[in-house]
């Protein structure tokens, strides 16, 4: 359905959105989107680091320590 919009169609959509919402509202919205993307990337990075730490901790556990835990 949206395969053949092209550049003129996208420009028309951008102009209509700009007229409807105004420059100030759009710039604040884009700022919030940027903050959301930054927060998402930070969360993914922290989760990846946490997963690496847990894998390293699992490697450090000897079989004798595992028997003691059970």
- Residues 9-15: what's their mean pLDDT? 92
Segment among 21-25, 36-40, 43-47, 65-69 with least mean pLDDT: 65-69
Q: Answer for the pair 24, 32: CB distance below 8 angstroms, yes or no.
A: no
CA distances from 62 to 11, 55, 57, 70 (A): 62, 13, 10, 13
pLDDT at 1 > cutoff 70: no
CA–CA dist 48, 26 (Å, integer): 33
CA–CA dist 64, 66 (Å, integer): 5
pLDDT at 17 > cutoff 70: yes
pLDDT at 18 > cutoff 60: yes
CA–CA dist 12, 49 (Å, integer): 44
pLDDT at 54 > cutoff 70: yes
């Amino acid at each position: 359905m949206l395969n053949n919009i092209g550049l003129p169609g996208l420009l028309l959509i951008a102009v209509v959105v700009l007229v409807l919402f105004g420059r100030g509202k759009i710039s604040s919205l884009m700022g919030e989107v940027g903050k959301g993307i930054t927060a998402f990337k930070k969360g993914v990075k922290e989760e990846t680091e946490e997963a690496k730490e847990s894998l390293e901790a699992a490697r450090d556990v000897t079989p004798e320590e595992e028997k003691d835990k059970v």
